[in-house]
Amino acid sequence: MTIDLPLEKMTLAEKLEMMELLWADISKRPADLPTPDWHKDVLEERRRLVAAGKLKFLDWDTAISELRKELRGDSDT
């Protein structure tokens, strides 16, 4: 199937909305999404680092706050 979208005429907001609609549909069936082997390798390495005390997880609000500080240049990390 070929779909011809007027991409050159679409605004950025329209393109992002289209991407969101596509992702919402695709993500309804997670079993259909293949996971590359390298994803598993990265997760295994992170689990190993957490178990060794070399990596920690942050809650979402803390992570966003730290990223904002870093982007502003006032991070002490």
Task: Give me the percent of the chain exceeding a pLDDT of 70.
Answer: 96
> What is the pTM (predicted TM-score) of this model?
0.46
Q: What is the pLDDT of residues 23-52, one digit of tens each?
A: 999 999 988 988 899 999 999 999 999 999
Sequence spans of domains, the chain: 36-77
**What average pLDDT score do residues 53-71 get?**
92
Please answer whether residues 27 and 19 qualify as being in contact, where contact means their C-beta atoms are separated by less than 8 angstroms. Answer: no
* CA quadruple 55, 41, 22, 3: dihedral, nearest 10: 150
Please answer whether residues 48 and 40 qualify as being in contact, where contact means their C-beta atoms are separated by less than 8 angstroms. Answer: no
- pLDDT for the residue 76: 61
- pLDDT for the residue 57: 86
- pLDDT for the residue 75: 55
